[in-house]
Structure formats: structure tokens, C-alpha cells
Structure 1
Amino acid sequence: MLTMNYTYRIYPNVVQQTELRSWLETCPGVYNYALRELKDWIASRKCSVDRCSLEKEYIIPADEPFPSYHRQQNNLPKAKKQFPHLGKVHSQVLQTTIRRLHDTWEAFVKRGYGFPRFKKFGQFKSFVFPQFKNNPINGFTINLPKIGEVPIDLHRPIPDGFKVKQVRVLSRVRGTQWYVVVTIESDISVPDVPVHGRAIGIDLGLERFLTTSERSFQERPQFFKSMQSQLKLLQRRAARKQKGSQNWEKAQIEVARMHHRIANRRRDFHLKTAHQLCDRVQTIFAEDLNVKGLTRGMLRTDCVDAAFGQFLSLTEWVCWKRGVYFAKVNPNGTSQTCPSCLATVSKGLEVREHHCPECGYRTHRDRAAAEMVLDRGLENVVSQGLWGTETACQVGLSGVDDLDKWRGAGTPNREAGKPAL
């Protein structure tokens, strides 16, 4: 079973936009009500057996079952009688809202932290239509239940053999731009991409966004800093408006539109860079970076602006789509190890050149790290037995034969030298 997501922009009219915003206000209310039931049931089981709190206590019968997803979903028809405005929202949209809460709860139980929180006004940005009997896309419109026909920018047609599984409606730029994420599926099965062809390692950094083991590199566009002065001007104008007024809302929309433009430019750069890599090689190795840790250091602003995590995710998707093998390797010590003799060469961030005192190998720091990423990726391929399963159409991995010789059959001092990559 193959499942993919296609994102399109839609253009609802004024009445439809009002209805969509109303749904986005109703769904958090259902979410919070269900969460309140969940928290009350848990709190009622916290009191001691022989005493109760002097301030307050949750009195729920001991035989009352846990408010599971199915129980709360079955209570929705009763809630609609008590709160008639819930009937304006599609029933399955409310069910997926309850499902969203219990997915968060199950994730909390699994990892042990991150208890579900109440949603504030405007915090819900999307809702889901989970199933369709017929294809909702007809020409250049999409038929959303209880919303009607909405114009859609179908810039990419649905492939033959795929059917629409679900549709998620997204609100962007404070409800002024609307998108749909169409989930399509097919019964076909796509095999995993095998290791084949020409291989490279890539190193991500702030001086250069990307450096490959083949001496090429890509400069880092500073998306946020290049537009920071314009963004600061818009934020200053918004701060001078009376909060809640129409002028304040217009100013907030301008700020949100600027953030949206920055994000679009960053994503466009990541996709184009990933496609350029896939045009050149058939196997890519990258570092398995701790992206969350990078956003907590001194250079967190630059790391967030570069968005290494988004780039790696998009590169993995582009590689899968284009039949390029992609794998991540352990990033520890890639910049502190000589790719020629594997000696440890300690250096600070201010040192931008790699010079090994053992073998005399000299190159740029980022290129040395990229070469180490490639070496580790090839070692993983050989150790996991992925090499040697190629088809008749595949080409030999450049560097694998030399890698076996370079490893020296267990020679401790690595005298075999640098592999010919």
C-alpha cells in the first residue's frame, strides 16, 4: 500500500471562509471538553484510600470506566443535543478531533512526559475529513462536506491508479490563506531503494550550508536575517496599534504573511538543493544530527534559520521519489577525525582547516567531515550486507573496493592510506 500527500491551495469565498473559521473555533472546544473529562477521571483516582483533600475532591464512581476514544466518540450525539452549534460541524471532523486528543494521550503514556494541554483560541490550524465515498476533486474544484464546492489550484494532477483517502484543511496567515493536504493511496507496492551507483557524503554547517565529499559546496542563504529589517518594521507597526482593532488585525496579517514568505523561500531552497544532489549521484549519506540540541546553543538563531532537520527530511523524501539511496550515519567526531588515517585531530569551531599531524592530509574542515560521513556510510553498507545485492541495471559503488583494502584487514595503524573515492 502506497500513501502520499499532495498539498494544494484552495480559494473559498467569504461565506465558506466564515464557516471554516467557525469550525476551527468549535474543534478546540470539543478537544478541551474531552480533555477535561480525561483529567477529571485521572484526578479522581489520585486521592488516598483513607483520606480526602480538605479543599476539593473529584467525586467520580469507582466503577466509572476510563473515558476512552470510543466512549467519548459515542457521546458526541448526546453533546450535539446539549450544544446545538456542534451540529454545524461535520460529524467525522469532530470524531477526528477526539482521535487527535487520544493520539496525544497515547504518545504521552508511551514516552512518559508531555501531558496533553488545553488548546487556546486560534491554536487549531487544521481539521480532517477522514474518508470520502467518491473522489472529491472534480476539475478545478474540490467538494468538501457541508462546505460545498471550493476552487482549487490543481497544479499537479492526481496520478492514475490512486484514490483520495482523506483531506486535511489548513489555515495559514491568520486565516487569509487556505490549503488542503490530499492523502492519496494505491495498492501498488514500491520496493526499498537499493544501494547503487555513485556515492557521496554531505556535511551541513553554518559557514557553508552543505559541503560534499567531492569538493563542491553550497553557500547558506540567510532567509531570516535578509528579511529581518522588513519584519522588524512590520512588527513595530503592529505593536503601535490598539490590540483587537481592525488596524491591529491587518498589521498582524502583514507580519504573518512575511513569516510565511520566509518559510516558503527556505523550503524552496531545500527542495532545489535536494534535487541537485539527486541529479549528480545515486547514493547519499548524511549525518544523523541532533536537531533539537542545535536549537538550544549559542548559534540557535542561525541553526533555526538553516532548518537542518527540514532539509534532511525533504532530502530523504526526494531521494525515495527519485530512486536514490539515502542513509544517515553517526555524527559523533566526524569533524575531529582525519578521513585519511583515522587519527583524532581535535580543533575548535574557529579552526576552519583540517591538518592532520599524523599523515599530513590538509583540506577544508567541512570537506574532511563530509569524507568521514562517506566512509562511515560505506562501512555501514558493507557491514549490513547491503552491498552485493545490486540488480543487473546497477553500477558498482565507487569506493567500496578500495574501502575494503583501506580497512587493512584489521591493521591497527591504518597504513593502507586514504581510499580512492
Structure 2
Amino acid sequence: MKTSYQYRLRPTKQQVIQFDKWLNLLRYQYNYLLADRFQWYEENRCSINSCSILVCHLPEFRDNPNYNSQQDSLPQLKKDRPWYKELHSQVLQNAAKRVELAFDRFLSGDCKGKKSGRPRFKGANQYKTFTYPKVKSDCIDNGFIILPKFGKVRLLQHRAIPDGFKIKTCSITKKADGFYVTLSLEDETVPTIKADFNADSITGIDVGLIDFYVASDNTRIAAPKYLRKAERKLKSAQRRVSRRKKGSNRRKKAIKQLGIMHKKLADTRKDFHFKTANNLLKKYDVVAVEKLNIKGLAKSRLAKSVNDAGWGQFISILTVKAENAGLKVIAVNPNGTSQECSNCGTKVIKKLSERTHNCPNCKVSLCRDLNASIIIKNRGAHDLKAQKMSSTKSL
């Protein structure tokens, strides 16, 4: 099982300066390696090496810069620019890895074949994380974390690392209110499905904007609407930033205050998602959700409300917590869940403004969202049964 713990750091003033220096050096190297990739892409993506109409010289082909070739250039970088020697070698290599991943997603796509946009160069204060791919298992000692080539940094360890888990990677992140460390943990002995897993303990949830979700047992959680409630304060803080002179210390201070407000808003929403997911998994072993196109919905007229609800983050948290607890989350096909009847399956066309489902065939009348959640539950039970049958056949 894999999980991650995040702790807040309390670095000294000198350590803060050192962190910022490392991030700036890594940003410069990231931009340089990315520019090298773009240069190769523009010069070598065409197989033609001469022009028959115009007498001109086209650049000669060169090998495609990849992770290995860019990694091999790092020793020469330290000779040409000695100030890079103070960076840990694996941290510097990780910057090349990030370029490799960003460029591969741009050209080839991710594991599902979905391509990302053209990678962007990192501006000032946009490179905020550096990673140690390997750290010692005993790097945390009496309220301090020992970072290679950096030393001891004070750590607020609000919870202990579980027994049996090994620290795989360590990432330092700069946020609006300070620095944080994220430890990636792994324990291969923890089972993925718990022994007393009950497939019949299943519920379906229909996420929405009025109610955050409605479960198939008619449990409702009201949408908290954190962004809507904080809009006036955010508007005032944003106006304060726009009135400050660009480049001034007062503007930097106003930007920092605005960033802290946005981070507090995001943390409050995330805390709500964690608690909601935890309460769901305490009651049920299987949770069925819709496989929604959240990115598409976030570009519609309901963009602000959809982003405020944070469905994508909630489903991601729910899935990870279920895996860690040995439980299951099933994503079902969302087509027709708001139009079908959960009792007889008749298609009942309704506008979005109609909040009650009235079936003319079986005379069932109930809340539209409750009807959808029951359909989601039934589809989840059917998919779970199909998965069991396929797994038994393969055995």
C-alpha cells in the first residue's frame, strides 16, 4: 500500500534563504532543459534536410535530448557553474525528470493516451517543489528532518509514521504560508482488500451543487459553498493587490496575504472532503459514483459552482482512502441517471429545473437526486458482480 504524509516545516531564516536559492537554481535548469527540447523539436521534427527551390542551409539533425542525455550533462554544468555544486545531485536530476514527463505528455500523452498542452517555462516563484528521490528511513529524528546536503530542519510532526511503512521519496514545497514536506510511504505487506470486505454493503452517491451529494439511503450533505461565502473578502484582497505599484514591497505583501486567503479556502474545502469521505467509508464497503466529465463541466456556465464544490478532488480523496482502508469505489456510466426511473427503468424526460421524479408508468414520486443515486447504486452493484465473475473465470 502506498500513501503520503505532509508535515509543516519551521526552517530558520538562513534555511528559508537556502530553500529559495535551491528553487531558483532548479527553475533556471528546468527552463534551460525545456528550451533544449523545444529547439530539437523545431529543428528535427521534419525529415527534409535540404531545399530544392531556395538555396538555403537547414540545421543538421541531432539526437533527441532525453532524460539520460540531459542527466549526463549535469557534471559539465557543475564545472561551468560551480554554484550548482551545493545542490544535491538527485535533486538536480529530478528537474530533468520533470522536463521528461512534461514533454512526453505533450508529444505522446499519458498512460491513457491523453495529451497535455505545450509545457510552459517557469517564471519567478512558479517552481515551488523539489524532490529527493531517495532518503534514509531514519531521516526524522526528535522533531527534525535530516535533508541531504541541507542538514536538520525543524518539523511539526502532528502524527507518527505507521509501523512497517518505509519512506520512499521526500518533497519540499513552498506554499503561501511557508514550507511543507511531503513523505511518500509504502508498505507492501498491507492487503489491498480487507478480510471482512462485504460487497453487499454498497451505496450510490449523486453529487450536485445544491446538495453536495445525495446517497441512495436518502442521506444528504449540503454543499458548503466556501468560495461563495469568501468572495467579498477575496474581492477586497484582490483590489488591494491591483492598487499597489508593481514591483513594490507593499504589492508583494498584498499578494502574500491574498495567497494565504486562497490557501485557507482550499484547505477548508479539502478538510470537508476528507471528513465526508471518511464518514461514507465508515458506513459502507463499496461506494458507487458517476464517471463525470468534470473538466467539461468546469468550462460551462456553472464553472464557478463546480470548481467551488471540488467534485474531482473529493472523488480522488474517496478513492485513495478506500484503497488504503481495503474498500472499493466504483465509477459507473453516468448516461441517463437523471432521466431513468429507479423502480421500473422507464425513461422520464425532465428539465434541469424539475427537482422531482414522477414516473407515469409505476407512479413513483421521489426526489430527482435520490432517484439518480439509487440508479448509480444499482449500476455499481452490477459492475461489481461482473468484475467478480471475470476474476473467477481468469483463475
TM-score (norm 1): 0.86
2:49–2:59 CA contact under 8 A, matched in 1:
no
1:44 aligns to what SS in structure 2?
helix
Match of 1:368 among 363, 371, 390: 371
Residue 58 of structure 1 and its aligned partner are, at CA, apart by 6.5
Match of 1:225 among 228, 232, 253: 228
Give the structure 2 partner of residue 9 of structure 1.
8
Change (3 A) 1:254 1:56: farther
Residue 387 of structure 1 and its aligned partner are, at CA, apart by 10
1:131 aligns to what SS in structure 2?
coil
Give the structure 1 partner of residue 90 of structure 2.
92
Give the structure 2 partner of residue 123 of structure 1.
126
Residue 323 of structure 1 and its aligned partner are, at CA, apart by 3.2
Can you list the C-alpha shifts for 1:63-122, whole angstroms capped at 9, x where unaligned? x32212111111111011112222222211110000111112222232355233322222
2:145 aligns to what SS in structure 1?
strand
Residue 378 of structure 1 and its aligned partner are, at CA, apart by 1.3
Please give the alpha-carbon distance, in whole angstroms, between the structure 2 residues aligned to 1:104 and 1:110: 10
Please give the alpha-carbon distance, in whole angstroms, between the structure 2 residues aligned to 1:164 and 1:186: 9
Change (3 A) 1:13 1:237: same
Please give the alpha-carbon distance, in whole angstroms, between the structure 1 residues aligned to 2:238 and 2:185: 39
Give the structure 2 partner of residue 43 of structure 1.
42
Residue 20 of structure 1 and its aligned partner are, at CA, apart by 0.6
Can you list the C-alpha shifts for 1:167-186, whole angstroms capped at 9, x where unaligned? 0001101xx41111101223
Give the structure 2 partner of residue 186 of structure 1.
187
1:40–1:58 CA contact under 8 A, matched in 2:
no
1:3–1:185 CA contact under 8 A, matched in 2:
yes
Change (3 A) 1:52 1:276: farther
1:202 aligns to what SS in structure 2?
strand
1:20-169 to 2 correspondences below 5 Å: 20-46=19-45, 48-51=48-51, 59-60=59-60, 62=61, 64-111=62-109, 114-169=117-172
Unpaired segments of 5 or more residues in structure 2? Answer: 110-114
Change (3 A) 1:274 1:37: same
Match of 1:326 among 321, 325, 329: 329
Please give the alpha-carbon distance, in whole angstroms, between the structure 2 residues aligned to 1:352 and 1:358: 18
2:49–2:58 CA contact under 8 A, matched in 1:
no
Moved over 4 A (4+): 52-58, 386-389
1:302-313 to 2 correspondences below 5 Å: 302-313=305-316
1:114 aligns to what SS in structure 2?
coil
Match of 1:253 among 244, 252, 256: 256
Please give the alpha-carbon distance, in whole angstroms, between the structure 2 residues aligned to 1:311 and 1:360: 35
Farther off after superposition, 270-279 or 362-371: 270-279
What code does the residue aligned with 2:51 have? R
Residue 254 of structure 1 and its aligned partner are, at CA, apart by 0.7
Residue 383 of structure 1 and its aligned partner are, at CA, apart by 2.7
1:135–1:163 CA contact under 8 A, matched in 2:
no
Unpaired segments of 5 or more residues in structure 1? Answer: 390-421
Can you list the C-alpha shifts for 1:310-349, whole angstroms capped at 9, x where unaligned? 0001111222233332211111110110001101111111
Please give the alpha-carbon distance, in whole angstroms, between the structure 2 residues aligned to 1:145 and 1:56: 52
Residue 197 of structure 1 and its aligned partner are, at CA, apart by 4.2
Give the structure 2 partner of residue 407 of structure 1.
none
Query: In the comparison of the two structures, how many residue pairs are matched?
Result: 384
1:203–1:366 CA contact under 8 A, matched in 2:
yes
Please give the alpha-carbon distance, in whole angstroms, between the structure 2 residues aligned to 1:247 and 1:56: 54
What code does the residue aligned with 2:328 have? Y
Residue 152 of structure 1 and its aligned partner are, at CA, apart by 0.7
State the percentage of identical aligned residues.
34
Residue 195 of structure 1 and its aligned partner are, at CA, apart by 4.9
1:195–1:386 CA contact under 8 A, matched in 2:
no
Residue 277 of structure 1 and its aligned partner are, at CA, apart by 1.1
1:132–1:164 CA contact under 8 A, matched in 2:
yes
Larger radius of gyration: 1
Please give the alpha-carbon distance, in whole angstroms, between the structure 2 residues aligned to 1:39 and 1:58: 17
Please give the alpha-carbon distance, in whole angstroms, between the structure 1 residues aligned to 2:19 and 2:56: 40
Can you list the C-alpha shifts for 1:149-195, whole angstroms capped at 9, x where unaligned? 1111111111222222110001101xx41111101223425233555
2:23–2:130 CA contact under 8 A, matched in 1:
yes
Can you list the C-alpha shifts for 1:117-156, whole angstroms capped at 9, x where unaligned? 3222221110101112452111210011222211111111
2:204–2:376 CA contact under 8 A, matched in 1:
yes
What code does the residue aligned with 1:101 have? V
Please give the alpha-carbon distance, in whole angstroms, between the structure 1 residues aligned to 2:57 and 2:3: 48
Please give the alpha-carbon distance, in whole angstroms, between the structure 2 residues aligned to 1:53 and 1:146: 58
Change (3 A) 1:387 1:271: farther
Give the structure 2 partner of residue 293 of structure 1.
296
1:126–1:169 CA contact under 8 A, matched in 2:
yes
Give the structure 1 partner of residue 112 of structure 2.
none
Please give the alpha-carbon distance, in whole angstroms, between the structure 2 residues aligned to 1:56 and 1:179: 54
Change (3 A) 1:120 1:56: farther
